[in-house]
Amino acid sequence: MAAPVFMRGVQGLWSIDGTKYSSEPIAEIDKSNSCKSMTFSEDGSLFAWCNADSAYIMDANTMEILQDLGLPKLVELKFSPKGSVLASWNNYMVNRDGGAGMPNLHLFDVKTGDIKKSYIQKKQMNWNPEWSGDEGICVRNVNNELQFYESNNFDQVANKLHLQKVSGFSLAKGSSPYSIAAYVPGAKGQPSFVRIYRYPHLSGLQAALASKSFFKADRVNFFWNKTGHSLLVLTSTESSDSSYYGEQGLHYLNVNGDSCLVPLQKQGPIYHLEWLPNQQEFVLVHGCILFALCAVKTFPEQKKQIAQTQATDTTHFEWCPDGQHLLTCTTAPRLRVGNGYRIWHYTGTLMLQKFTENHAELWEVHWRPRPCDEAPKFSISSSPVASGAAVEQPKAKAGAYRPPHARGTPGAPAPTQRPLQEYEPPSNAKESDKAPSKNKKKREARKAKAAQEAQAEAGAASTPAQPTPSSNSSASEVKVESTGDPEKDKKLRNLRKKVQQIEKLKEQQAAGKTMEKNQVCAATALSILLDHQDPFEVN
């Protein structure tokens, strides 16, 4: 089965066959450097992209352009689940003549290329309408209410869900009966909440099937299982008292009315979560923990690891529809240097890698989607692929840092190190000039007090018959004969220091100085130890 990989970047829009392990393009779709977005239909049969001039719909099987939409400067594109409607969004603008806002959210009929409906959508966040899996209903957020349309008829609003200050929603991808989740952020000490409704029963206090309230949420992400019966809500804050990166929380709800907080085992970010094919469990990448339904931890299971590999600077990865290959890539704007992609076999063998030339930016890389029933059957093996196509993994080489403008220039000299005083002072220079912190002052005070006590003890122990020990006999200058083993030498030095300290205590005791109980016990224990063996014989 051919597995095309589509790529979008400064060098244009092109496609390769990812399972033939050749970086040569099988199609150069767009040679311009202004391709703003690309998207597939869910079954992978249609492909759409836009550049500064227009937007296009293409047959992904024949690579034939079906529609030229003729609308320039689009920014976002999205197909409906069955590929019958293409939604687009561009930056909101005001008509210079009349001063009225111009529609910037357009819904195109894929078969004809005509615009079915246009709306004004000022914000790019949550711009896209959502469809059910069978396209029975479509919903979008309009001024504190969710508006529903049926059977892609956008001339009439079929139903509404009104919630004050509703800012987010998610429609389950299953078929009828349809489930919808709505999010309302908290305000003035009130908690945020998410509620689940069953379409078309949207009005009344008892209409909500489930509800979960929580604090500490600046934004939420929804994760429905495929049946549309269970929902995970990932909450995030921009920042917090404990972390610059904010805090996260995970909540579980279902249409039966159950809800709970998913307990996390440790502090830190949630990297990824995904429902399992059985739709009863989900994988949470948070310290390698697997949770079952209702957030009961069940991992680790008795699974066998096939392979382990490392792909540095990966900003995106995804499985090939054939279930045997994996794509990892480094893309801008997350990283603007070292952009490129790698294709791996599931056994960990690197089959293909390609980096952009002259440090050109790569923006997006995706496999072409395919239905699951088209994936070929294969037997899982843990043995690496024995093929001439396998590529040796690159090893990092240490070298002098080169600024971006000097990279790729043969023979360019390494930059010279500037003296420290020539660098720009830190942004918090005023704070760095302040007096030492309170903790630092306390440490210095403790050190000074300890030095005074040691000096007083040394003076009290000094007699004409017992001169004050010189600095040459201080514990800090203890010397032992090296054994050739640094660890043993360290133990010997520490032990010698203890011996000298206790011998000093015994001398002070003999001079008539009152000793603490712990000091007397330590001296007695050392005497017993010395009577039985040489403590400096370290095995």
Q: What is the DSSP letter of 314?
A: -
Tens of pLDDT, residue by residue over 166-185, are 999 999 988 889 999 999 99
At residue 456, the 3 state secondary structure works out as helix
Residue 510, domain member (yes or no): yes
* pLDDT at residue 263 greater than cutoff 50: yes
Tens of pLDDT, residue by residue over 496-510, are 887 888 788 778 878
Residue 31, domain member (yes or no): no
Q: To 10 degrees, what angle do helices 517-532 and 486-510 make?
A: 120
198 and 255 Cβ atoms separated by less than 8 Å: yes
Residue 401: pLDDT band by 50, 70, 90 thresholds?
low
Residue 525, domain member (yes or no): yes
At 499, which helix (H) or strand (E)? Answer: helix 486-510
Tens of pLDDT, residue by residue over 25-56, are 999 999 999 999 999 999 999 999 999 999 99
Of 365, 369, 380, 374, nearest to 329 by C-alpha is 365
Residue with token string 């600024």: 403
Q: What is the dihedral of CA 70, 76, 79, 81, to 10 degrees?
A: -170
Of 235, 215, 169, 174, nearest to 196 by C-alpha is 169
Q: Extract the runs of DSSP E, i.e. beta strands, from 45-97.
A: 46-50, 55-59, 64-68, 76-79, 85-89
Q: Could you tell me the residue range of the domain that residue 530 belongs to? A: 488-539
pLDDT at 428: 45
Q: By CB neighbour count within 10 A (0-12 exposed, 13-18 middle, 19+ buried), where does 115 fall?
A: middle
245-249, 266-270, 427-431: lowest mean pLDDT where?
A: 427-431
Q: What is the dihedral of CA 426, 432, 433, 434, to 10 degrees?
A: 150
Q: How many CB atoms lie within 10 A of CB 122?
A: 10
Q: Any residues with CB less than 8 A from the CB of 365 and at least 6 apart, and which?
A: 5, 6, 7, 8, 316, 327, 329, 331, 341
Bin 313: left if φ > 0, else alpha if -120 < ψ < 50, else beta: left
277 and 267 Cβ atoms separated by less than 8 Å: no
Residue 495, domain member (yes or no): yes
61-65, 436-440, 445-449: lowest mean pLDDT where?
A: 436-440
Tens of pLDDT, residue by residue over 276-291, are 888 889 988 875 555 6
* pLDDT at residue 235 greater than cutoff 80: yes
Start-to-end CA distance of the chain, whole Å, equals 65
Pair of tokens at residue 130 = 């959502």
- In the chain, the number of structural domains is 1
Q: What are phi and psi of 517, to 5 degrees?
A: -60, -40
pLDDT at 185: 94
Q: What does the buried/exposed string (b/e) look like for 305-340 if buried means 16 or more CB atoms within 10 Å of the residue's CB?
A: eeeeeebeebeeeeebbbebbbbbbbbbeeeeeebb
Parallel, antiparallel or unpaired: strands 179-184 and 168-171: antiparallel
